[in-house]
C-alpha cells in the first residue's frame, strides 16, 4: 500500500507548503491537498496512511483557535480516519483543532509567559526535550535528547485537569516538552498523542527544520520526526503485505 498522505487546508492555513515539503522529502510521496469545505471522498480516505492538519490561523482564530475549524465539513472524515488507526498529525493550529474537536485531550490557551504585548511568540528555534522514544514520531531520537524546532503561536499554553495530565504521563502520551517555560504550558508539554498513539499534536514546527544547514543555524532536527513515521509506516506496510 502506498504511503498516501493528505494535507487539510483550512481558510487561514499557512503552513501547508512546509508540511508538503516534509511529505515529499522524507516520506517520498506527493501529498494530496484537501479543502476543509468538503468531506474527503471515501475512496481516497481509505487509501490515506497520514493526514496532516497544518499550522496557520484557521478561520482567523475567531472565538478560539480551532473552535470554528472543528465544525468544518472535512472533520468527520478526519474523525473516521483516526478511529480506524490512520496517523493524524496536527501541528500548531492543527494541534489546536485536534483538542477543540476532542481528538486529543486538554486545551491550548493564550500564552501565559510571552513577553510580546499580544502574547505571540515567534522564535527561530526553541529548545525542546524528547519525552519518550516509544512512539513512531520520536523513535529516531534519544530519550531526553534536546532538539530545536521553530515556534510561532499565541495560544500554545497547554492545559488540562490534573487527572488528565497524570494519565498522559502514565500512558507515555507526552512526546515533547519545552526545555524552558515558553508559554506557561502545564508540565512543559509541547506535544502529545492519544491513548492509541495514532493522533498526535504539537505546537512547535518540525516541518520547518528539515535540513542541516550550519550556515543558517539549521540543525535539521525536524527531519527525524518524519523519518520515525516513515520507518513505522514502512514496517506496517511490510506486515500487511
**Can you tell me the distance from the alpha carbon of 171 to that of 123, in angstroms, rounded to the nearest whole number?**
30
Q: Which residues contact 48 (CB under 8 A, 6 or more apart)?
A: 4, 5, 6, 32, 40, 81, 86
Q: Which residues contact 190 (CB under 8 A, 6 or more apart)?
A: 128, 158, 176, 177, 178, 202, 203, 204
Q: Which residues contact 163 (CB under 8 A, 6 or more apart)?
A: none
The catalytic site residues sit at 92, 205, 207
- Whose grid coordinates read 532536527? 221
Q: Contact 66/96 with Cβ under 8 angstroms?
A: yes
| Through-space distance between the first and last CA atoms of the chain, rounded to whole angstroms | 8
Look at the chain and count its residues. Answer: 241
Amino acid at each position: 500500500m502506498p504511503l498516501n498522505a493528505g494535507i487539510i487546508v483550512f481558510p487561514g492555513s499557512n503552513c501547508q507548503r512546509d508540511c508538503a515539503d516534509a511529505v515529499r522529502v522524507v516520506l517520498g510521496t506527493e501529498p494530496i491537498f484537501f479543502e476543509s469545505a468538503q468531506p474527503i471522498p471515501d475512496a481516497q480516505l481509505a487509501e490515506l496512511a497520514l493526514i496532516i492538519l497544518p499550522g496557520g490561523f484557521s478561520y482567523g482564530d475567531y472565538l478560539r483557535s480551532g473552535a470554528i475549524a472543528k465544525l468544518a465539513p472535512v472533520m468527520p472524515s478526519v474523525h473516521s480516519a483516526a478511529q480506524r488507526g490512520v496517523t493524524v498529525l496536527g501541528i500548531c493550529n492543527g494541534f489546536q483543532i485536534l483538542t477543540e474537536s476532542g481528538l486529543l485531550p486538554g486545551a491550548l490557551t493564550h500564552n501565559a509567559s510571552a513577553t510580546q504585548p499580544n502574547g505571540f511568540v515567534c522564535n527561530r528555534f526553541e529548545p525542546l526535550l524528547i519525552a519518550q522514544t516509544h512512539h513512531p514520531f520520536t523513535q529516531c531520537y534519544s530519550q531526553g535528547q534536546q532538539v530545536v524546532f521553530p515556534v510561532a503561536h499565541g495560544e500554545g499554553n497547554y492545559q488540562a485537569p490534573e487527572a488528565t495530565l497524570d494519565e498522559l504521563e502514565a500512558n507515555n502520551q507526552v512526546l515533547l516538552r519545552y526545555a524552558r517555560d515558553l508559554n506557561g504550558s502545564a508540565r512543559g508539554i509541547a506535544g502529545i498523542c492519544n491513548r492509541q498513539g495514532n493522533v498526535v499534536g504539537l505546537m512547535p514546527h518540525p516541518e520547518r527544520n528539515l535540513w542541516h544547514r550550519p550556515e543558517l543555524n539549521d540543525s535539521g532536527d525536524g527531519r527525524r520526526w518524519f523519518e520515525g513515521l516513515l520507518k513505522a509506516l514502512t514496517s506496517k506496510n511490510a506486515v500487511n503485505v
